[in-house]
Amino acid sequence: MQKQQDLPKAFAELGIEIRFLKALRKMRFVEPSDIQAGMIPIALEGRDILGQARTGTGKTAAFGLPILQKIDPAGRLQGICLAPTRELAVQVTSEMQRMAEFANLHIVAVYGGQKIATQLHSLGRKTHLVVGTPGRVMDFMNRRVLDISQVRFVVLDEVDRMLDIGFRDDIKMILGRVKGPHQTFFVSATIEGEINRLARQYMKDPVEVNVSKDKMTVDEVDQTYITLERYEKFRVLRKIIETDDFAFTIVFCNTKASARKLAKKLYDAGVNAKEIHGDLMQRQRDRVMDQFRRHKLRVLVATDLAARGIDVSQISHIVNYDIPLDPEVYVHRIGRTARMGARGKAITFVSRDEGEQLTKVEMLINREVPERKVEGFTSKPPEEPADKPAEPQPLSRYDTPVHANAEAAPAKMPRKTLGGRFQPARRRRRL
C-alpha cells in the first residue's frame, strides 16, 4: 500500500482531497500549472471564475477538480459543462472520469453523431455531471429528459470558440434554464467583448484568473515557414517527414476535401496517417482519435473544427499544410504541440500569393517567423538577366494580331466575355 506522502503534495496544498490525489498520482500529475494553481483555491471557495489561459495548460483539471470534489455522491445531477465540439466533449469527459476514479461519481458525455438511445441509457443512471455540446444538451432539455434547473455548477469550456461557431443563442437559453444557486466558470484562451457581456449577465462578481500574460503563442514552439508552390506541398511534406524526427504529428488543412485527399496520399505513400473531419461518422472519428491518443497513429490530418478538442501528449510537430485565413486559428493550431511545458515544432507552408496571410500571423504573435529551406526545393525563382529581351506572349484566341502594315490590319473585333471564372489572374504577391 502506497503511503500518503507519495501523493502530489502541491495539489494537496491547493485543497484537493486524498481521493482525487490518488487519481492525480495515477495520471502522473506532480506540479499544478499556472491556471490550476490560480483557479482551484478560488473555485473551492465557491466563487464564479473567468479563467483565461493558453491551449495546453491544463484548464480541464483547473475547473474539474474543485467541481468533482464539491459534488455530493449521494445526489443526482449537479453539474453541466458545455463544449464547442464532440471531440472536446469526449476529451473533457475522459479527463473528468480519470480524476473521479476513486470518488464514485458518474459523468456522461452527450453530443451529436451518437445514437440518442445510447446517451439516454447513460443518463438514466445516477448521473452527477453532464458534459455536452450545446445542440445536444438543448435537444435533451426539450425532450424533458435533462433537467438542469437545479444544477450547482455550470462550465462553459472554450467559450470563445462556441461563440465563433454560432452557439450564442443556445448558450443563453441553457444558462437561462438554471434557476437555483450555482457556481459558474467561463474558461477560454481569450476573454473579451461578447464573453464579458455574457459574464455580466450570468455570473455573480466573477474573479478573473488570467495566466496567458498577453502571449498569443507559446515560447516552447519552434516556428518556421517554407515558401513553395502549391503543387510542391506533398513532396515537401514527404521530405520533411523523412528528414525530421516526426514522432506524432498533426497536419492541418483548411477544407475537408483537402484533408481527405492528403490522408489518402500519405497512406498510399506508406505513412501511417488518417484523417479527421466533419464528414466522418462519429464512431469513425472516435476510433481515429483513440488510435492517435494511444500513439498507434503517427500522422493525423485534420480540419480546425474537428481538431478543437485534441489534447494529446507528445505531439512533436504541427504542420500547416494550408495556412489559415484567420491568424488566430494559427495560434490555436500550434498550441496542439508544446503541451504542459514540453517543446514542439510548427511548420507552415506558404505559397507565393499567401505572403499577406503570413504577415498577419507575425503581427498577431508579435514576432517574425523564420524561413526554412528544404534541400531540393527552391524558395524563389532564379534571377533573370536584366538585358534579356522580353519573350513574346502567346496570343489568346480572342486577341487580334498586330500587322506590320497598320492599314492592312483588319478591324479589331470586340473582346468576348466568358464570365468571372475566366477573368485574368491578378498579379501574385511574392514573399
The ranges assigned to domains in the chain are: 4-210, 221-365
Phi and psi (nearest 5°) for 245? -85, 75
Which distant-in-sequence residues (6+ apart) come within 8 Å of 72 by Cβ? 78
Q: What is the pTM of this model?
A: 0.63
Question: Quick check: do 4-210 and 221-365 share a fold?
Answer: yes
Looking up cell 516552447 gives 220
- Give the C-alpha separation, 277 to 198, whole Å: 30
Nearest to 39 by CA among 7, 82, 69: 69
Radius of gyration of the chain (CA): 27
CATH of 4-210, one of 3.20.20.70, 3.20.20.210, 3.40.50.300, 3.90.120.10: 3.40.50.300
| pLDDT at residue 75 in the model | 92
| pLDDT at residue 188 in the model | 86
| pLDDT at residue 309 in the model | 57
| pLDDT at residue 410 in the model | 47
| pLDDT at residue 341 in the model | 57
- Residue type at 149? S
Looking up cell 505572403 gives 355
Decide yes or no: CATH 3.40.50.300 for domain 221-365.
yes
Tell me how crowded residue 124 is: count the other CB atoms within 10 A of its CB.
10
- Give the C-alpha separation, 391 to 428, whole Å: 20
Nearest to 250 by CA among 358, 161, 347, 373: 347
- Give the C-alpha separation, 249 to 301, whole Å: 8
Cell numbers at 276, concatenated = 479527421
- Give the C-alpha separation, 95 to 66, whole Å: 14
| pLDDT at residue 82 in the model | 97
- Give the C-alpha separation, 298 to 420, whole Å: 42
Largest CA distance in the chain: 105
- Give the C-alpha separation, 430 to 1, whole Å: 66
Name the DSSP letter for residue 309.
T
Cell numbers at 133, concatenated = 455540446
| pLDDT at residue 399 in the model | 46
Contact assessment for residue 369 and residue 354, using Cβ atoms and an 8 Å cutoff: no
| pLDDT at residue 426 in the model | 42
Contact assessment for residue 161 and residue 84, using Cβ atoms and an 8 Å cutoff: yes
Handedness of CA 277, 282, 288, 291 (dihedral sign): positive
Which H or E run includes 19?
helix 18-26
| pLDDT at residue 215 in the model | 53
- Give the C-alpha separation, 403 to 409, whole Å: 6
pLDDT by residue, tens only, the chain of 431 residues: 445 668 899 999 999 999 999 999 999 898 998 899 999 999 999 999 999 887 667 899 999 999 999 999 999 999 999 999 888 898 899 999 999 999 999 999 999 878 899 899 888 878 999 999 999 999 999 999 999 999 999 999 989 888 888 899 999 999 999 999 999 999 987 777 888 899 999 999 999 998 875 455 556 789 999 999 999 999 999 999 888 877 789 999 999 999 999 999 999 999 999 998 877 877 788 788 888 888 888 899 998 865 565 666 678 899 999 999 888 788 878 877 766 556 789 999 999 889 899 998 888 888 899 999 887 765 554 444 444 445 555 544 444 444 444 444 444 444 444 444 444 444 444 45
Parallel, antiparallel, or unpaired: how do β-strands 107-110 and 129-132 relate? parallel
